[in-house]
Amino acid sequence: MSTAIETKEFQTEIRQLLDIVIHSLYTDREIFLRELISNAADAMEKLRYTQLTGSEVKDQDTALEVHIDTDDNSHTLTITDTGIGMTKEELVGNLGTIAHSGSKEFIKHLTDKGDNKDLNLIGQFGVGFYSAFMVAEKVTITTRSYHLNGETFIWESDGVGSYTITEGEDHVRGTKMVLYLKEDAYEFAKEETVQRVIKQYSSFVPYPILVNGQKVNTVDALWTKNKNEISDNDYNEFYKFIANAYDEPLLRLHFSSDAPLNINTLLFVPKENFEQFGFGRTEPGVSLYCKKVLIQEKSPLVLPEWLRFLKGVIDSEELPLNISRETMQDSALISKLNKVVTSRFLKFLDSQATSEPERFKEFWEKFNFFIKEGAANDFTHQKELVKLLRFESSSTKAGELVSLADYIGRMKEEQSAIYYVNGPSREVIESGPYLEAFRDKGFEVLYTYAAIDDYIFGSIREYEGKKLISADEAELDLGDQIQQERSADALSEEDVLALTSWLKEVLGDKVTEVRESKRLVDSPAVVFSPFGTNSMQRMMQLVNKDLNKVGPSVLEINAAHPMIKRLDNARRNGDAFAQTAAEQIFENAQIAAGLIVDPRSMVNRLNEILERALG
């Protein structure tokens, strides 16, 4: 057998490409192992396909596996596959001339023949192979083609300017690659490092990967399987693996689609929302794959940020990747992928709300803030998100939730709008003055407990043609629906005019207007925020501590309330205590509105009131 060594020069373009690959193409050089394993998997996929077509192959009973051996003493990493192998011409064509993908050439050849059935190639052999030189000072490849009369060849290079090809002794079918590691890359000769990288990037490669004889990729790529073949336990174990979790998921969605994109998706909602416990902002938990190979772990692009609580996998064969597979070039396609998966998940939640209301309620209690965040900011999906919103209301018991659709379904015939009111709790809302007229007329009012709820309602403004109106708006236009008829016990209009003018003078710049209320039933007075709604005022006060002074408000008084009538009597009699009582009535109304009031000025006044009462 001839053992002559042929030395060949890399093409100029290859030298340039090697320099780019080694120094700037990949942001993380451990990616090289993903690339080499993907190429090995492709070699076996080609062999499998060749066998399916009836061709005879060498060592036909040899198992299709990737063997990786580490040697921390000699600082080498050896990757062996039992795939299709390479001829001498293929060695030169794939590794010595201008970079091209052997996998793409294989597919092109089959396509030209009109035959590419059941083929699943993932690698870019000509390009991905060069990533080996990021960590290796020398690479030796021993390869034997699948042809029965094939030969074994040894390719060797330091990745600088040339390579050698030597004919070797007959070898088992496939390719063996030995990487002689650079001094700063000795870590890749350690078994634990190699196992970690494989588990991160190549856990779901469809062929067994054995490191020093131990199989590493032990978890199946469930998202590629038919749902009927997967048990609940399989799903739960897969979730624990990809989410690094110990408990079972709350919800899961598994679907495949071929239009408008070819995608396989498996998403999980965790049992707990750790963000609400103060553990910091949740990082995105859905990873992007292409043909079972990790493209981007915990991708921030593939789903909107408000879905960051989800865990899972999205796999698409249509992703356009740059040469390193690390950056997705077609933002329009990623945007479409984002929209398709998001819409499907929202449709799933909507169906859960109908088919499993208790399970959906549990989801809502733990993850409602994310849905609200989306409804406030994601205008693409806002309509779908608003359908999922749930609230307590004046017609429900504590803990019972209604949707906007539920509310509309039981609106009174004469009612033209959806009414809501914000407060820190149900108790505070129901003890306040803003529900009185609505309660008197039997109109349902939604209870919103978060400032973002009012922001969403202010943003969408209407739902199914019904305006969304806050019950504590100062200029609430209700027509004749809720306006209270003037009580026969009320002060005369002349006395009311005198009293409101006096109150405006006493309260000064604390109010912009004092007027008779047409909505109060039981309370003596009510205030309305100058910022539109009291919830907006509260939010601004929380954000800006300088707003502790509430600012001018509109004050409405109940002219039929005994306290207001006694106040007017004290005013007319010239009682100096009338001013003290007026200021306290005003601040009581502010407190009922949930506004932040400086208590220091109130203490002396309350002491004066108590002294008089006891006196």
Tell me the per-residue pLDDT of 552-605, one tens digit each, with 9 for 90 and over. 788 999 999 999 999 999 999 999 899 999 999 998 988 887 776 777 778 888
Is a pLDDT exceeding 80 seen at residue 124? no
In whole numbers, what is the pLDDT of the chain averaged over residues?
86
| Residues 227-263: tens digit of each pLDDT | 999 999 999 999 999 998 889 999 999 999 987 788 9
Of the listed ranges 117-121, 138-142, 338-342, the one predicted with least confidence: 117-121
In the chain, the amino acid numbered 222 is L
8 Å CB contact between 123 and 201: no
Ranges of beta strands (E only) in 328-440 are 392-393, 417-422
Residue 326 above 80 pLDDT?
no
Other beta carbons within 10 Å of 11: 13
Is residue 367 within 8 Å of residue 269, measured between CB atoms? yes
Distance separating alpha carbons of residues 310 and 283, to the nearest angstrom:
10
Please tell me the pTM assigned to this model: 0.79
Interval 67-96 mean pLDDT = 93
- What pLDDT score does 421 carry? 93
Residue 548 CB burial class (10 angstroms; 0-12, 13-18, ≥19): exposed
pLDDT band at 537 (very low <50, low <70, confident <90, very high): low
Q: What is d(CA 33, CA 197) in angstroms, rounded to the nearest whole number?
A: 7
More confident site: 210 or 318? 210
Instruction: Give the confidence band of 280 by pLDDT, cuts at 50, 70, 90.
Output: confident
Of residues 155, 206, 188, 181, the one with CA closest to residue 33: 188
pLDDT over 70 (residue 500)? yes
Q: Provide the pLDDT for residue 602.
A: 82
Phi first, then psi: what are they for 56, rounded to 5°?
A: -80, 140
Instruction: Transcribe 133-182 into DSSP letters.
Output: GGTEEEEEEEEE-SSTT--EEEEEE-SSSEEEEEEE----SEEEEEEEE-
Tens digit of each residue's pLDDT (9 = 90 or more) over 475-493: 776 555 444 567 778 899 9
Which stretch of 50-64, 239-253, 453-467, 480-494 has the lowest confidence by average pLDDT? 480-494
Predicted local confidence at residue 94, as pLDDT: 79
Query: Distance between CA atoms of 532 and 59, rounded to whole angstroms?
Result: 80
**Does the pLDDT at position 324 exceed 60?**
no
- For residue 114, the model assigns a pLDDT of 59
Residue 281 has pLDDT above 60, yes or no: yes
Name the token pair of 215: 């199989």
More confident residue, 565 or 438: 565
pLDDT > 50? residue 69: yes
Instruction: Kindly report the backbone phi and psi dihedral angles of residue 481, in degrees, each rounded to the nearest multiple of 5, phi listed first.
Output: -70, -45
In order, the DSSP letters of 2-62 are --PEEEEEPPHHHHHHHHHIIIII-SSTTHHHHHHHHHHHHHHHHHHHHHHTT---TTTTS
Check whether 122 has a pLDDT greater than 60.
no
Tokens of 384: 């779908």
| Residue range 370-392, pLDDT digits in tens | 999 999 999 999 999 999 999 99
> Quick check: helix, strand or coil at residue 127?
helix
